[in-house]
Amino acid sequence: MVLCDGPAPPYAVLAHWLEDADCFVCADAAGRPYDRLPRPPDLVIGDFDSLHRDPSASIIEAPDAHVPTGDDQNVGEHPALVDGLPALHVPEQESTDSEKALLWALKNFYAEGVLLGATGARIDHSFFNVSLLERFATRMALCIADEYSVNIRLAPHSYTHWELPTGTGFSVVPLSSPVQEVSLDGAAYPLHDAPLAPGGPNAVSNRVVDPPLRVRVGDGSLLLSVSLLRDRDRRWD
């Protein structure tokens, strides 16, 4: 699980996703102070721009620190300690801290990942983080989650179904344009071999009426966003 440096989700959301996580990575200053998290991160990684702006952060370059770096430590990666926790300082500016975390995960043979703190606040950061679902699609199964929704990529020429409760809200949005032959069954507003493209007919704010929800995709890829709120008053405990 990667905690990105956006607005932090509630403690209960973090605890839910960390319960089965094999590894917990914080991107740059995400998650501080770490003693308020359900568990401390296994690694802090990033260019440390945000950490360097925080006078309360303790950053120590530690070449001998035990930091998992995969098969080989790349040039430009510097083992460190952040507030006493294992860290990897990657100062290059050609990738975001979220990307750095995912690339580290790939190098350490993780096949699945969940991004929290990836949405909200700055829309450019949110949009870019959503694009990572497409960018890493051939290398890692990714999910972006927050207090309100779970978001995954549906691959071209795929058929999937979910036993979602009746009334569950969901949306499908093109990740690549256009997306052809989209079918939705078990939904209040079904589709049958329909094209979806930005600026075209939308498939937002649908809901499940006849579980399971069945989705078939032709050419192109879709973002499936499933709401975690059955009504406006529900909140994580």
CA gap 74, 61 in Å, rounded: 16
In the chain, what percentage of residues exceed pLDDT 90? 83
Give the CATH superfamily of 2-147.
Answer: Thiamin pyrophosphokinase, catalytic domain (3.40.50.10240)
Over residues 49-68, the pLDDT tens digits come to 999 999 999 999 988 777 76
2-147 and 153-227: identical CATH topology: yes
CA gap 31, 125 in Å, rounded: 17
Q: Is domain 153-227 annotated with CATH 3.40.50.10240?
A: yes
Q: For 128-148, what is the mean pLDDT?
A: 96
Question: What's residue 199's pLDDT?
Answer: 76
Nearest to 196 by CA among 216, 172, 213, 225: 172
Whether the bond between 178 and the residue before it is cis, its omega within 30 degrees of 0, is yes
Nearest to 75 by CA among 92, 51, 87: 92
CA gap 214, 224 in Å, rounded: 12
Over residues 167-193, the pLDDT tens digits come to 999 999 999 889 999 999 999 999 999
Question: What's residue 62's pLDDT?
Answer: 86
Q: For 99-123, what is the mean pLDDT?
A: 95
Given pLDDT bands bounded at 50, 70 and 90, which one contains residue 74?
A: low
Q: What residue type is assigned to position 76 of the chain?
A: G
Question: What's residue 206's pLDDT?
Answer: 96
DSSP characters for 132-155? HHHHTTTT-EEEEE-SSEEEEEEP
CA gap 49, 37 in Å, rounded: 21
Q: What is the mean pLDDT of the chain?
A: 92
Domain boundaries, the chain: 2-147, 153-227
More confident residue, 147 or 233: 147
Give the predicted TM-score (pTM) of the model: 0.91
Given pLDDT bands bounded at 50, 70 and 90, which one contains residue 233?
A: very low
- Asked if residue 235 has pLDDT above 60, the reply is no
Question: What's residue 50's pLDDT?
Answer: 95
